[in-house]
Amino acid sequence: MTTTTDPAHDLAVAAGSGRDGVARPRDDAEAIAAAHALAIRWRELGPERDRDRAVPYAELELLSRSGLLAVTVPRAYGGPGVRAGTLTRIFAILSAADTALAQVPQNHFGAVFGLEAEDDERKAFFFAETLRGARFGNAGHERGRGGRSHPKTTLVDDGDGYRINGVKSFCTGALTADWVPVSASHPDGWIATAFVPRGTPGLDVREDWDAFGQRATVSGSAVLTDVWVARRHVFDQSGRPRPQAAFRYARSQLTHAAIQIGVAHAVLAHAGRLDRAGLPAGVAHRFAAWREDLLLETSAAEALVDRAADLVDEVVSAGPTPASALAVGLAVDEAKCVAYDLGPAAADGLAAFAGPADTDADRGFDRYWRNARTHSLHDPVRWRRHYVGDYHLNGTLPPVLRSLLESTGDVPL
């Protein structure tokens, strides 16, 4: 069957129709202020939603209207183009309010970063979508080896567009998104990312996420059956320069470290409330020592995230090279190794001092540990620690960075 019309734009407009009053933070300071304002609302709504496993439509609509989804849009396209360190701080602020909700826009920003390499027409269209509050979900993961680099999901030519068929898993944000970026393989051998408007016939995003933590990510599965997408909304990933692909991957991963720092900030705030309420004399000294250690560890993790963010800004300004993309990738991995230990340990440490009344589920205390621990399993940090050490000791490139950088042998060693 051949489709000669283009329903994609109409569907996209319908998805966001009625969304007015989207804020426009003008600089880094206004973006941080918007994050604090949104965090207040998320704290109010979080415990009940988590308990009932409710899909966070209202909370994510608040995110869209806050203007935070567009803070990395370049100034040339109407956005504030905030620094990487501002974005990581935004994620930490939102994670301290609700760690699960804070993970949802991680893939959104990964998609926005990818747009920077596209032609002017595509950038203008999708940056405008971002500025109006559109959320980009995720349908890039598949079960089994090679799901990202060699997806089994297929994309075939059909008139003015393509037809997509396949099954995706771990689709964070797709259920509530305006657009769902889908990875797929074309018969000619190239790998595509297709931006599919939510609600397109044949796109079935399922609410089958059942983890004990990070419930609000609703990272369920998606089944695509003869999904038609316009040609101009499909991007060839295979043709991108290798340093650019490696840099985009590393840049998008940095926000994961910031999410765990947000957990530590939430735990420290709760610890302050425990301290003010008073602790038994035999416990107060140990509690103070634990709190001081946690402050130190949090500062160390923040320093590593800030260092990586500064490197990101340098590469954005100068353009990625094999050496600079590798430097960013290693710095991000180092930050993640520390941060992914920090969040769960902070939540676990607080539980050791809190009494039964303080760990009441209605207060949301249990979410600290469940969310931090579930998020820490997002990718194998134990292997990242090995890879970072292997590089510094032996000059061996981490496998993911090597695969992204390899092209004509121009790989820095």
The pLDDT tens digits along the chain (413 residues) read 333 333 333 333 344 444 678 999 999 999 999 999 999 999 887 767 767 777 889 999 999 999 999 999 999 999 999 999 999 999 999 999 999 899 999 999 999 999 988 889 999 999 999 999 999 999 888 886 655 668 999 999 999 999 999 999 888 888 899 999 999 999 998 999 999 999 999 999 988 777 666 777 777 888 999 999 999 999 998 877 889 989 999 999 999 999 999 999 999 998 888 888 778 878 889 999 999 999 999 999 999 999 999 999 999 999 999 999 999 999 999 999 999 999 999 999 988 887 666 555 545 667 788 888 888 888 778 888 999 999 999 999 998 888 888 753 444 44
Class for the domain spanning 242-405: mainly alpha
Specify whether the CB–CB gap between 412 and 326 falls below 8 A.
yes
Q: CA 110 → CA 120, 158, 181, 255, 354, distances in Å?
A: 19, 28, 10, 10, 37
Task: Give the residue extent of every domain in the chain.
Answer: 8-131, 154-236, 242-405
CA distance linking residue 359 with residue 353, whole number of Å:
10
Helix (H, G, I), strand (E, B) or coil at 254: helix
pLDDT for 411 equals 44
Of 250, 11, 289, nearest to 129 by C-alpha is: 11
Of 298, 328, 296, nearest to 313 by C-alpha is: 328
SS3 content of the chain, % helix, strand, coil (to 5): 60, 10, 30
Class for the domain spanning 154-236: mainly beta
CA distance linking residue 88 with residue 313, whole number of Å:
12
User: Of the CATH numbers 1.10.10.10, 3.40.50.150, 1.10.540.10, 1.10.150.20, which one belongs to the domain with range 8-131?
Assistant: 1.10.540.10
Q: Do domains 8-131 and 154-236 have the same CATH topology?
A: no
Please give the model's pTM, rounded to 2 decimal places: 0.90
- HSE-CB at 256 with a 13 A cutoff on CA atoms is 25
